[in-house]
Amino acid sequence: MSFVKVITFYKFFIIKDIYRFSREIERVALKENLCGTFFVTPEGINTTLSGSEKGLTILLNFLRENLGVDSIKPKWTQSTEVPFKRLKIRTKPNLLPLHGNFNVLKKRGVYVKPSAWNKIILDPKITLLDVRNKYETKLGTFKNSINPKMSAFIDFPQFVEQELELKLDKDKKIAMFCTGGIRCEIASSYMLNKGFKNVYQLEGGILNYLEQVDKKHHLWDGECFVFDERVSVGRELESGQYIQCFGCRHPLSEKDVKSADYVKGVACSYCINKTSVKDKLRFQERQKQIDLAIEKGANHFGDQ
C-alpha cells in the first residue's frame, strides 16, 4: 500500500510583503504537485500540505534557504489517499481571528515538551484546558481537561472572561493543548495579557505528542480531529474512523452515519434542522456531480 505524506507546521515571524511571499510558495508548491492550504499573514505562516516526501522536503528547504524561514518543526503524518482536492494559497491579516491588546510575537505561554506532558497533566494542582472547538473534543481529548465548548476559536475570549477570570486565581498554573500548537500560541498570549501568570502549552500540540510519546504511555483518549479529508487520526497517526458531513463539517461516527437524518453530502443529525431547503438542494446537486465524476474516474473540486 502506498501512502501520501502530510505535513503540518506554523511559524510566527514578520512578513513585510505577504503577496510576494505567497507567490514564491505557490510557484514551488505547484511545481511539486502539492495540495492543501497555506496561509500567509504579516505575522507568520500556517499550513497543512500533502504530496510526495521529496516534494514536501523541497518546499521546506526552499522556505529555509530562499525565504530565510528557519526553525520550522513540521509534523509528518500520512494518508492512504490524497487528503486535499487542490492547492490553496491564502493571504489574510492574521493567523487566527482573535482580537485583543496582545502580541503573540513577543509573549506567549511556556512550552512543555511531549516527553514532559504526562507529568504536567497528572499534577492535580494544574488546570488542564482544551482550546479546540467542541466538535473536535467529541472525538478525543486528555482526561480531566476543561472543554470550553466553543463553536469557533473566536469564542475563546468570552470563555476566559465568563469562566476562567471568575473562577480561577490568576496565579494558578494552566496547561493548554490543541491540534498542532498554533491555537495555544494565540490563546496563551491572550491569557498572559489578561493577567494570568503561569500559562503552559503542549509544544507542537496533540499531533506532536502522539508522534513523540510511546503509545504504551499515551494519556490521550480517542482520535484527533484534523482539518483535511482524513477528518481524524488515531493514536499512531493513522487515518481515523470518522467521516465529515458536507452540510455542517461536523465529524460523524459510524453510529451517526446510520442515523435516519444522515444523507451523504447533504445533511446529518447535527444540521438536519439548521440548513435551509435551498441549501440541501444545492448540496444534493453537488453530491450528484461528485458521484458522476467518481464514476468517470475524474476529479471533482467542489465549491471554489
Query: Quick one: residue 54, left, alpha or beta (phi over 0 = left, psi -120 to 50 = alpha)?
Result: alpha
Beta bridge partners, 177, equal 130
Neighbouring-strand partners of residue 91:
40
The grid coordinates listed for 273 are 434542522
Report the distance separating Cα 174 and Cα 123, nearest Å.
11
Q: Where are the beta strands (DSSP E) in 3-43?
A: 4-12, 35-41
**DSSP at 109:** P
Kindly provide the residue ranges of all beta strands, DSSP E only, lying in the chain, ordered along the sequence.
Answer: 4-12, 35-41, 44-51, 75-79, 87-91, 110-112, 127-130, 140-142, 173-177, 198-202, 220-222, 224-225, 232-233, 243-244, 251-252
Distance CA 231, CA 162 (A): 31
Question: What is the rounded end-to-end Cα distance, in angstroms, of the chain?
Answer: 31
Tell me if 127 sits within 8 A of 175, measured CB to CB: yes
Q: Cell numbers for 38, please give them.
A: 497555506
Pick the catalytic residue from 35, 178, 224, 245: 178
Task: For residues 203 and 109, give the distance between their C-alpha atoms in angstroms, rounded to a whole number.
Answer: 10
Clarify whether 178 is annotated catalytic.
yes
Which residues are the active-site residues? 178
